[in-house]
Structure 1
Amino acid sequence: MTFSANLGFLFTDRPLPDAIRAAKAAGFAAVECHFPYEVPPEQVKAALDETGLPMLGLNTVRGNVKAGDFGIAALPGREAEARAAITQAVEYATAIGARAVHVMAGKSGGAAEAEATYRGNLRFACDAAEARGLSILIEPINHRDAPGYHLSRVEHATEIIEALGRDSLRIMFDCYHTQIMQGDLTERFRAHLPLIGHVQIAAVPDRGEPDEGEIHYPRLIAAMRDIGYAGAIGAEYRPRHGDTEAGLSWLSQFS
């Protein structure tokens, strides 16, 4: 099984290029990140080239974090800002050779106007990504951690993708968020597999290492493979004790 280290949460005690090297040393076969924009892309690309690890994806910026923003693509009236963030992400992804951009919707409260705004911005994102050979990911995020987040159900993500009809648009199936909001992970994954572009894991409910809690990941990931998923599994969890290396024993369950 191929696991990707999400460097938004793992190895955060060091600069991003060194986190990439640490992921390689720990045995990960790929990396992904959240918001790498303060690091010159040539430094990230050099670390990726050195280690041979692919960068699977990165996020658009959250917006005004101090004001509570958690993405802006579904916020009416902020289309110009959202599209600038998409352009920034696509250009950075291209510069480092990343494969996908996750467009963060934001906390809209679910209004109809927000849905129209989101779909319009996703069309823009798909146009930009397809010109560069990238994919666009949308991720249902739970309302416990992000109250009012516009996209919280896998079925909603599927509705959007089918309505837009873009092959470059896929679902980020985060098992942590989906278990909290909906559950029934195996059958929900089976039903939506053709539209799933990436998978992420973390323990529920504490979002720690995927070795305890409500989800038995060895069984779930084996089922995903049997269903037909051939992509990487993104380790997007918060180390319980702050030290990424000290909590990596869970990887041995899949060796």
Structure 2
Amino acid sequence: GLTLQLEPVSTYAKPGYYMTTSASAAEIIRVVDSPRLKLLYDIYHMQLMEGDLANTIRANADVIGYIHIGDVPGRHEPGTGEINYPFLKRLLVDELKFDGIFAFELSPLTTLDACVEAMHAF
């Protein structure tokens, strides 16, 4: 009953890490072809490594099971950096009907209360 989430990570966080793009993880997932293997799409890492978030998410929506949220730079709460989170929320929820898990993996830039408000806004 467990599902394994395969996560590509940026070389900024883990120099030398072997899986650094959505495409490399998605290829493994599609070859394995198991409903128990999904892509953990970390928006922070993928913005750093490949950008083009919306098109990458659309191309891999069939294998994404889990999404990590953190803004760039600094991995802070949505709205503190360059990522257009309202757009991504509409893409994921309204357009793609994503029904997987969202998780906030970040370091609060402000107070914990302000961070929680930003998370609720997402």
Fold similarity call, TM over 0.5 = yes
Residue 59 of structure 2 corresponds to 191
2:12 is paired with a residue whose SS is coil
1:210, 1:237 within 8 Å by CA — same for their partners in 2? no
Report sequence identity in percent. 34
1:221 aligns with 2:80: no
> Distance between the aligned counterparts of 1:157 and 1:174, measured in 2?
12
Alignment partner of 1:247: what SS?
A: helix
Q: Structure 1: how far apart are the matches of 2:120 and 2:63?
A: 29
Structure 2 residue runs without a partner (length 5+): none
> Which of the residues 20, 26, 47 maps onto 1:179?
47
Match of 2:99 in 1: 230
Equivalent residues, number = 121
CA contact (8 A) 1:200 1:234 kept: yes
Report the 3-state secondary structure (helix = DSSP H, G, I; strand = E; otherwise coil) of the residue aligned with 1:194. coil
Q: Which is bigger in relative contact order (C-alpha 8 A, separation at least 6)?
A: 2
Question: Aligned runs of 1:18-97 on 2, under 5 Å?
Answer: none
| Structure 1 gaps, min length 5 | 1-132
Q: In structure 2, what is the Cα distance between the partners aligned to 1:214 and 1:162?
A: 31
Larger radius of gyration: 1
What is the alpha-carbon root mean square deviation over aligned residues? 1.5
Number of the residue aligned with 1:204: 72
Q: Give yes or no for contact 2:46–2:53 (8 Å, CA) kept in 1.
A: yes
Deviation (angstroms), 1:224? 1.2
Structure 1 residues 145-171: Cα deviation after superposition (integer angstroms, max 9, x where no partner)? 111112110000111112222221110
Structure 1 partner of 2:23 = 155
Equivalent residue letter for 1:166: S
- Whether the 8 Å CA contact 2:78–2:119 is kept in 1: the answer is no
Question: Does 1:164 pair with 2:32?
Answer: yes
C-alpha contact (below 8 Å) 1:208/1:238 kept by paired residues: yes
* SS in structure 2 at match of 1:173: strand
Q: 2: distance between equivalents of 1:200 and 1:252?
A: 15
Inter-partner Cα distance in structure 2 for 1:161 and 1:211: 31
1:193-243: per-residue Cα shift (whole Å, max 9, x none)? 1111101110101101112211011111111111221223211111125x5
1:229 counterpart letter in structure 2? F
- TM-score between the two structures when normalised by the length of structure 2: 0.90
* Structure with more helix by fraction: 1
Q: Pick which of 163-172 and 173-182 moved more.
A: 163-172
Q: For residue 224 of structure 1, give the secondary structure of its aligned residue in structure 2.
A: helix
Q: Aligned partners of 1:202 and 1:190: how far apart in 2?
A: 19
